[in-house]
Chains A and B, each alone.
Chain A
Amino acid sequence: GIQVEQSPPDLILQEGANSTLRCNFSDSVNNLQWFHQNPWGQLINLFYIPSGTKQNGRLSATTVATERYSLLYISSSQTTDSGVYFCAGDYKLSFGAGTTVTVRA
């Protein structure tokens, strides 16, 4: 199956800071999603983004399919952004190990 590598593994931010999370894939994927797992364990769909750029409020994502990576941008971070961010690809969703984000007030 496809291998998914996420970086960084951990990120500590001061409220209001911006950050970029990266996801690399071992092979091309035509199905890519970003999720946020909140502290209660719920998985929330952030983006379905097999290619191109999308924005949703303070979050945006870019996938460069030909180079097998995707980026998630968090701007003006808030404490509610804390949690684990996962990217996953392929129709059976191979998951990365996640980036744990902690936003401090």
Chain B
Amino acid sequence: NAGVTQTPKFRVLKTGQSMTLLCAQDMNHEYMYWYRQDPGMGLRLIHYSVGEGTTAKGEVPDGYNVSRLKKQNFLLGLESAAPSQTSVYFCASSFRRDSSYEQYFGPGTRLTVT
């Protein structure tokens, strides 16, 4: 099992450009999540999904959109990138079993917006 994978690993964008980050998991997890991590801070939740075809906002959703067309994939889009979106983005997935939501994380995508 590859676990949770993220594409790309690094990206540099100019202000106003758009891009999509791809997250894939092969653990058949129902739940998937996108977080961002800024220097010296913990992770903050952007959006999440509790199943195929569903999405919901997290703590910091502005400027991002997501889609979950297939159970194994969760896409994060930036429509018009801003320097404030420079960050490391982590994807995670979890099953739900008896109120347990143990999350497993991908390796991260380092995004720089100039």
* Interface set of A (CB-CB < 8 Å, partner B): 1, 4, 30-31, 33, 35, 41-43, 45, 48, 50, 86, 88, 91-98
Q: Is the interface of A mostly helix, strand, loop or mixed?
A: loop
Pairwise interchain contact A48-B102, C-beta atoms closer than 8 A: yes
- Judge whether A92 and B33 touch: CB under 8 Å: yes
Binding site for A on B (CB under 8 A): 31, 33, 35, 40-45, 48, 58-59, 88, 90, 92, 94, 96, 99-105, 107-108, 110
Instruction: Please give the distance in Å from B9's CB to the nearest CB on chain A.
Output: 10
Q: List 8 A-B contacts (CB under 8 A).
A: A41-B107, A42-B108, A43-B108, A86-B43, A88-B42, A92-B45, A93-B35, A94-B45
Contacts of A94 in B (CB 8 A): 45
Other A-B contacts than A41-B108, A91-B96, A93-B35, 10 sampled, CB-CB below 8 A, are A4-B42, A41-B107, A41-B110, A45-B105, A86-B42, A88-B43, A91-B101, A92-B45, A93-B33, A93-B43
- Cα A87 to Cα B41 with chains together (Å): 12
* Chain B positions within 8 Å of A1 at CB level: 59
Asked whether A45 lies within 8 Å of B100 as measured between CB atoms, the reply is no
Judge whether B58 and A48 touch: CB under 8 Å: no
Q: Are B58 and A92 in contact (CB under 8 A)?
A: yes
A33 and B102 contact, Cβ closer than 8 Å, known pairs A95-B43, A96-B42 = yes
Q: Binding site of B, secondary structure by majority: helix, strand, loop or mixed?
A: strand
| In contact, A45 and B42 (Cβ under 8 angstroms) | no
Q: Which residues of A contact B94 (CB under 8 A)?
A: 91
**How far is B3's CA from A45's CA once the two chains are assembled, in angstroms?**
13
Chain A contacts of B90 at CB under 8 A? 43
The chain B residue with its CB closest to the CB of A47 is B102
